[in-house]
Amino acid sequence: MKRIVIDAKKCDGCKNCTVACMQAHRADEGTVYDLDLTDVANESRNRILVDSDGTYKPIFCRHCEQPECAMSCMSGALQKDPLSGLVLYQEEKCGSCFMCVMNCPYGVLKPDTKTRSKVIKCDFCQDAGGEPSCVKACPREAIYVEEGLG
Amino acid sequence: MKHVIIGASAAGITAAKTIREIDAKAEIVMISTDAWVHSRCMLHKYLSYERDEMGLSFISEDFFDQYNIQWKKETKVTRIDAVGQKVELGDESNVAYDRLLIATGAASVIPPVGEFRTAGNVFGLRNLSDAQQIRSMAEKAQRILIVGSGLVGMDAAYAFLENGKEVTVAEMADRILPLQLDEKAGKAYQRLFEQAGCRFMLGKKATGTVSDASGNISKVILDDNTEIECDLVIVAAGVRPEVSCTEGSGIKADRFIEVDETMQTNYPYVYAAGDVTGISGIWPNAMKQGQVAAQNMCDIPTVYDDRYAMKNTMNFYGLLTLSLGRGVIEENDKVLISEDSKNYRRAILRNGKLDSILLQGTIDYSGIYQYLIKNEIDLEGKQEGIFNLSFKDFYGVKENGEYQFQIENAAFA
């Protein structure tokens, strides 16, 4: 099982991970230099939130062992892949009910802002090389992939 | 070990999958009256021609092969022999079991109003077989009456409006979606449906019917004597657990099958999960009950403890709503409301804890609220900012990298 491990203490809130996520999931082609940060079609799967004490709290999908999102999915669009351990989303199966948004205890999920018909969910960059772009972009090693986690 | 599962919906399928994940060698037989495995939450997408039978499936195409499960479809279990550990099928053949799971779900309730129970053009909307009959009859029906404005009723109304039908919704309460929404949130949907051509008869009850020569209802009469002409009637007035297969078996079932916290019935080796247990009527809980039952069927002692069921989301015409809790305001409750051009939000706080929350408009990242409600988290000092709470306010990370709620130095799973 792979997971993006978070060391929140190291995060300095640069949001390179957020930009990298947007770049990896943009609909059009291009480099990060022409990525439109204001286009809601490019929204990020991760968030860096500032806490009241000024520290940063990275919110990333955990691909949980017992994924509450998949356990609420009535269309079968969200499934935990037994081999990789990733909780993957098949957009074309999705019934847009958003019970997954309701059921993720950590508030990681949201409906897409543009069409409100699909869920914005980490896919471990399956279509962008299979290595999470956020991890590659983190200059502080506050996020890193670890194998063999339960 | 031979497992037999009656029913192939959320609880049954989840149980079968769980058993296979635990025990590669177990024999698994599923028996369902359904001809297709389908998501009951998407039947309206079939009515609107948005999806076909295959498109309603919530499992992969090769599910039964992949998990090595024998599936007897379109097959009814007529009797359970809980002592001899076998089930009898409609053709009088028997299937023996070591462990049995009853996950037969629920059936539509058709109230005894006029000819509702006997007419040829009155349907509940629960199974794909209902939707198939409705869709075929709707080809020649223009005026459609929907009795009940819960989620099933409104889903059906939406589908028929998409097809250009004349839709009337009759509802006993004075507002639509009365269990899920307050008046203001209900009105927002009512407006959207009305813009699409829907007519509402609120605060009115169907009391009688007029049938034509062919035994179809042509008019439904409401308690204020309004007559509604219709070609097709959908009754969305609730469901009852489908317990008929337990008759004469000694399995304790009155209105629903009684189970203990391991999902076991009063008989050893006989379990029940999903709507048939009467614990809750929603998909996520049915899946979890199926999982817990399966673990116990495989002799892994597990307790079903995620009982919170007053939760819903809805999505009509791009307007999203999350509704958690009963939404009933009691004395000394603190009610917080926040509104802007795109959002209506209402939280009910009781004794410093969140009791109910309604978010209409944006529901982004709202998953934390269910956790706060069902774990009765004390929100002292956080109440005024209730709509701005996020997981950062409870941020904790477990050793394996998963999150956990950190609440005043106490870590929760």
Judged against a pLDDT cut of 80, whether residue B386 lies above it is answered with yes
Per 3-state DSSP, what percentage of chain B is helix, strand, and coil (rounded to 5)?
25, 30, 45
CA dist B201 and B239 (Å) reads 22
Judged by a CB distance cut-off of 8 A, whether residue B364 touches chain A is: yes
User: So what's the pLDDT on residue B281?
Assistant: 87
pLDDT digits (tens, 9 = 90+) for B212-258: 999 999 999 999 999 999 999 999 999 999 999 999 999 999 999 99
Helix or strand or coil: residue B182?
coil
What is the reported pLDDT for A93?
97
Of the partner residues A105, A106, A116, the one whose CB lies closest to the CB of residue B318: A116
Which carries the bigger pLDDT value, residue B390 or residue B90? B390
pLDDT tens, position by position, B306-319: 899 999 999 999 99
CATH architecture, range A64-109: 2-Layer Sandwich (3.30)
Query: Looking at the predicted complex, does its ipTM rise above 0.85?
Result: yes
Q: Does A57 touch chain B (CB under 8 A)?
A: yes
Inter-chain touch A74–B368, beta carbons under 8 Å: no
The whole-angstrom separation of Cα A93 and Cα B59 is 10
Q: Is A64 on the interface with B (CB under 8 A)?
A: yes
Give the pair of three-digit tokens for residue B282: 């929603």
Contact A72 B283 (CB under 8 A): yes
- Element (H or E) spanning A17, and its range? helix A16-25
Reported as half-sphere exposure (CB side, CA atoms, 13 A), residue B181 has a value of 26
* B392 shares contact with chain A (CB less than 8 Å): yes
The contacts of residue B90 (CB under 8 Å, 6+ apart) are B75, B76, B78
Residue B390 near chain A (CB below 8 Å): yes
d(CA B287, CA B129): 22
- Each as own residue / partner, the long-range contacts of residues A62-66 (CB below 8 Å, 24 or more positions apart, any chain) are A62/A3, A62/A106, A62/A108, A62/B401, A62/B402, A62/B403, A63/A1, A63/A2, A63/A3, A63/A87, A63/A122, A63/A124, A64/B402, A65/A1, A65/A150, A65/B400, A65/B402
Min Cα distance A23 → chain B (Å) is 21
Query: Which of A4, A95, A149 is opposite residue B45, by nearest beta carbon?
Result: A95
Q: Per the CB < 8 Å rule, is A6 touching B368?
A: no
Give the residue extent of every domain in chain A.
1-60+122-150, 64-109
Widest pairwise Cα distance in chain A: 42
Contact assignment for A107 to B10 by CB distance below 8 Å = no
Contact predicate B318/B300, CB 8 Å: no
* Integer CA distances (angstroms), B243 to A24, A93, B125, in order: 50, 31, 18
If one counts every other C-beta atom within 10 angstroms of the C-beta of residue B137, the result is 16
d(CA B183, nearest CA chain A) in Å: 22
Burial class (CB in 10 A: 0-12, 13-18, 19+), B406: middle
Partner-chain contact B401 A71, CB within 8 Å: no
Domains of chain B (ranges; CATH) run 2-107+240-297 (3.50.50.60), 122-237 (3.50.50.60), 318-411 (3.30.390.30)
Dist CA B330 CA B175 (whole Å): 20
Residues in B 68-97 with any Cβ partner in A closer than 8 A: none
Q: Taken in order A26, A30, A35, A38, is the CA torsion positive or negative? A: negative
Tell which of A5, A52, A61, A97 to mutate to test the B interface (max B CBs under 10 Å): A97
Residue B407: which pLDDT band, with cuts at 50, 70 and 90? confident
Interface membership of B9 toward A (CB under 8 Å): no
**Cβ contacts from A onto B, under 8 A:** 130
Q: Are B228 and B170 in contact (CB under 8 A)?
A: yes
Which chain A residue lies closest to B359 (C-alpha atoms)?
A102
The CA-atom distances, in angstroms, between A119 and each of A73, A110, B31 are: 11, 6, 33
- Give A116→chain B minimum CA distance, Å: 6
pLDDT band at B7 (very low <50, low <70, confident <90, very high): very high
Closest alpha carbon within chain A to B15: A71
- Is A6 close to B401, i.e. CB distance below 8 A? yes
Query: Which chain A residues are Cβ-neighbours of B343 within 8 angstroms?
Result: none
Look at residues B238, B230, B62 and name the one whose alpha carbon lies nearest to residue B148: B238
Which residues from A are below 8 Å from B287, CB to CB?
71-72
- Average pLDDT value over all residues in chain B: 96
Cβ neighbours of B364 in A, within 8 Å: 101, 110-111, 113
Q: How far apart are CA B366 and CA B311, in angstroms?
A: 12
Cα of B382 to nearest chain A Cα, Å: 12
3-state secondary structure of A62: coil
Determine the pLDDT at residue A130.
82
* Secondary structure tally for chain B: helices H, strands E: 8, 25
A146 vs B contacts (CB less than 8 Å): 401
Same fold, A1-60+122-150 and A64-109: yes
Q: Is A51 on the interface with B (CB under 8 A)?
A: yes
How distant, in Å, are the alpha carbons of A15, A43, A47, A65, A135 from that of A19? 6, 9, 10, 27, 11
Interface membership of A102 toward B (CB under 8 Å): yes
Asked if B395 and A104 come within 8 Å (Cβ–Cβ), the reply is no
Beta bridge partners of B316: B319
Q: Distance (Å, rounded) from C-alpha B163 to C-alpha B180?
A: 26
Question: With contact defined as beta carbons under 8 Å apart, do A95 and A74 qualify?
Answer: yes
* B332: closest CA of chain A, how far (Å): 27
Edge to edge, the sheet with strand B94-96 lists B77-81, B86-89, B94-96
Tens digit of each residue's pLDDT, chain A (150 residues): 789 999 999 999 999 999 999 999 998 999 999 999 999 999 999 999 999 999 999 999 999 999 999 999 999 999 999 889 999 999 999 999 999 999 999 999 999 999 999 999 999 999 888 899 999 999 999 999 998 776
Other beta carbons within 10 angstroms of residue B340's beta carbon come to 9
Q: Is the pLDDT of residue B411 over 70?
A: no
Hey, what CATH topology would domain A1-60+122-150 get?
Alpha-Beta Plaits (3.30.70)
Mean predicted confidence (pLDDT) in B110-122 = 97
In our burial notation (b when 16+ CB lie closer than 10 A, e otherwise), range B365-374 reads bbbbbbbbbb
| CA A64 to centroid of chain Cα atoms | 12
Report d(CA B379, CA B289) in Å as an integer: 30
The DSSP bridge partners found for residue B210 are: B219
Q: Write the single-letter amino acid at B340.
A: D
Give dist(CA B306, CA B124) in Å, integer. Answer: 29
A101 vs B315: CB contact, 8 Å cut-off?
Answer: no
Which residues numbered 293-332 in B keep a CB inside 8 Å of some CB on A? 311-315, 318, 320, 322, 324
Residue A96's DSSP bridge partners are: none
**Between chains, do B400 and A101 touch, taking CB under 8 Å as contact?**
no
Q: How far is B323 from chain A (nearest CA, A)?
A: 9
If pLDDT is split at 50, 70 and 90, which confidence band does B114 have? Answer: very high
Kindly indicate the confidence band of residue B176, based on its pLDDT and cuts at 50, 70 and 90: very high
Chosen from A47, A69, A72, A81 to mutate, greatest number of chain B CBs within 10 A: A72
Write the DSSP assignment of A73-109 as a string of letters.
Answer: -SSS-EEE-TTT--EEE-GGG-----HHHHH-TT---
Contact list in A for residue B58 (CB cut-off 8 A) is 73-76, 93
Query: What's the CA gap between B297 and A126, in Å, rounded?
Result: 36
